[in-house]
Each structure stands twice: as structure tokens, then as C-alpha cells.
Amino acid sequence: MSKLAGKVAVVTGASKGIGAGIAKALAAEGAAVVVNYASSKAGADAVVEAITQAGGKAVAVQGDVAKADQAEGIIQAAITNFGRLDVLVNNSGVYEFAPIEAITEEHYRRQFDINVLGLLLTTKAAEKHLGEGASIINISSVVTSVLMPQSAVYTGTKGAVDAITGVLANELGPRKIRVNAINPGVVETEGTHEAGVVGSEMEAGFAAQTPLGRVGQPEDIAAVAVFLASDDSRWLTGEKIAASGGLR
């Protein structure tokens, strides 16, 4: 039997990249998936089509996780369409690097609103629907240990994600709801292509620092998400799993 048969999952920011990879992997293991997107309807629709063509169940749902009413709507879509919620993947996130002298209020607020407030609002909306055995998976980043120059704000958001993961693991543990984080290294996605990372000296530099000798692929992260969503990880909560090929 598929590991997630009968389960329902919400994946935020799932129209491309890591989120799309996670949504497809969860569906491939039997979960019905809400594919959330903020702006790329075409991307989310393509993910849903890929899932349904493979025999899975999915629906695309627009919503800005940093707005409380929209975060509530994303979660409600799981209940309306599939009748329950078992897995929440807080993947929505943005990144923008700047040296300390270039940091602005807008730079700070955009990243903290989506990466931190969005996670909190979506989890708040979801927790009342989650029962024993449910899994919340927060997508953090290996930047919290690599500590890259010019990433003070972005790294700050992911440090907050790591800390919140531990707090919520303790807070929701009595209800037998597990909360863990995945901390990816550099992953080849549309975003890292657009940023000019993939194919650059920067990519080569990261690959050289990575014991396994390459940057990651979305499916590398998705496999860890499937593990954390399933009963295979039933004894794990409050963990931060570096999915980085050994990059630290």
C-alpha cells in the first residue's frame, strides 16, 4: 500500500521548485494534495495536471499565506475538497540577498511576512483540523548553519523557522501532532535558474563544498518530505533535517 493512502496534504508555494516536487511526491504516495500558489496559476495548474495524469488527486488553490483570511482559505480548501487534513507543508518562501548597508524595511518585511508570519498563519488555520498522527513539515534552509554573507534577513527568517519548529513540536506534541523542518542546501529550481546561480561559478563553488559533489534537485527534498509525512517518521518531532548533500 502507498505510504500516504487516504491522507490529505496542503503544500504552500507549490506551483514550482521544491514545493511542486513535494506535492507530486506526496500524491505519488497516495495523498490528495492542495497545491497552493500565490501568483502562478499556470504553474499550479501544471502541477495538478501532472498529478492527475499519474492517477492522483489534487486541486490548485490561490492564496497569500501572509494574509490571515487567505491562509484560512487555503486550509479550508482541503476540508471542502477532500474532507480532512493530515499533512501541512509550509514551503512558501522568498529570498533576497543584500549587504547590511543595503537592508531596507521593505526587504525585511517582505521576507519575514512570507517566510515567518505566513508559516504561523497557515499553521494556525490548520491545527484545528489536524488529528493524532498528523505531520507539519516546515521548509527551512541550510543557511542557518552555513551563515552566508549578505543573507542576514533571509537567514534570520529561517532561523526563526527552526526555532518555531521546536516550539510547535512541544506545543502540539500532547495532541500527537509532529512538527519537523527540512533544511535544504542549494537546489536547482526555477528560482535558482532565474537568480543566475545554476550554471555559474557560485553553483560550482557550492558543489565543491558539498561532500556529495552536486547541488540538490527538488526530488531530493521531496523524498525527505514523504518520509516526514508518513508513519515511517512517527518517532520524530522537533527535528531539523539537513537535506544538503552534506553541505554545512
Cell digits for 57?
A: 488527486
Between CA 81 and CA 89, with CA 86 as vertex, the angle to 5 degrees is 95
Cβ burial, residue 198 (10 Å; 0-12/13-18/19+): middle
Catalytic site residue from 37, 95, 108, 154: 154
Residue 108 among the catalytic residues: no
Walk across the sheet containing 87-90 and list its strands: 57-62, 32-37, 8-11, 87-90, 135-139, 178-184, 240-243
Residue type, 128: K
- Residue listed under C-alpha cell 527538488: 218
> Which of the residues are catalytic?
154
